[in-house]
């Protein structure tokens, strides 16, 4: 099997990465493209850094098991199938599923720190950065954390101010200049999606 083409997609929390990826998933089969998310590699709650107010900070590079993440990505690149238990973001109402990542010609890796981790960044053949206005990002973050992860509103707002924003400024935004493509997702990303889909189509038939 020839080496797969690795695409990295990053951006700040609430920039629209998940929505963009779901749109890509609808365009391709699982036999063509495999999507691997950094979010499945969060360390357990008890291993997370706790801030001065006793709140776990899940928005630090150390909150992710980057060694395991990189190892599994390398296994996938080498043609191995990877099985990983789903991370449910401490949502007691969610039942974790067993995820299977299957080798494909194109692999998409997504996550807020994938450009920051050297062992991940060096494996990426093409880098996409999704950007959005700050007001839109916080609205999307509130909607996601309240509905999907069952977090209280006060907790969401505290984390956004004290964890999310500082992490974005230090560990995500500085790598924007490293991207091959920057997508401004302020209102609609359809044109950018069409471009990326066309590019992936080309790589699949190359």
Distance CA 79, CA 156 (A): 39
Dihedral sign, CA of 131, 37, 188, 14? negative
Write phi, then psi, for 45 (nearest 5 degrees): -50, -40
| Per-residue pLDDT reduced to its tens digit, 50-68 | 999 999 999 999 999 999 9
**Torsion angle of C-alpha atoms 92, 95, 96, 99, degrees rounded to 10:** -150
Q: Does CATH number 3.20.20.110 belong to domain 13-205?
A: no
Q: Where are the domains of the chain?
A: 13-205
pLDDT tens string, the chain, 206 residues long: the values are 689 999 999 999 888 898 899 999 999 999 999 999 999 999 988 999 999 999 999 999 999 999 999 999 999 999 999 999 888 766 556 677 899 999 999 999 999 999 999 999 999 999 999 998 888 888 888 887 777 677 788 888 899 899 999 999 999 999 999 999 999 888 788 999 999 999 999 999 98
Beta bridge partners of 35: 108
């Amino acid at each position: 099997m020839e080496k797969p083409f690795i695409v990295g997609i990053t951006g700040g929390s609430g920039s629209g990465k998940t929505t963009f990826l779901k749109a890509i998933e609808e365009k391709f089969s699982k036999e063509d493209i495999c999507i691997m998310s950094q979010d499945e590699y969060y360390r357990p709650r008890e291993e997370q850094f706790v801030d001065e107010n006793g709140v776990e900070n899940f928005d630090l590079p150390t909150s992710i098991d980057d060694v395991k993440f990189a190892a599994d990505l390398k296994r996938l690149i080498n043609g191995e199938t990877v099985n990983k238990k789903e991370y449910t973001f401490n949502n007691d109402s969610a039942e974790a599923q067993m995820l299977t990542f299957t080798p494909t010609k194109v692999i998409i890796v997504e996550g807020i720190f994938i450009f920051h981790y050297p062992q991940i960044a060096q494996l990426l053949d093409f880098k996409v950065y999704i950007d959005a206005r700050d007001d839109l990002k916080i609205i999307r973050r509130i909607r996601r954390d309240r509905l999907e992860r069952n977090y209280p509103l006060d907790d969401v707002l505290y984390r956004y101010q004290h964890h999310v924003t500082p992490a974005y400024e230090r560990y995500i935004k500085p790598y924007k200049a490293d991207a091959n493509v920057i997508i401004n997702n302020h209102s609609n990303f359809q044109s950018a999606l069409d471009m990326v889909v066309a590019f992936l189509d080309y790589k699949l038939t190359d």
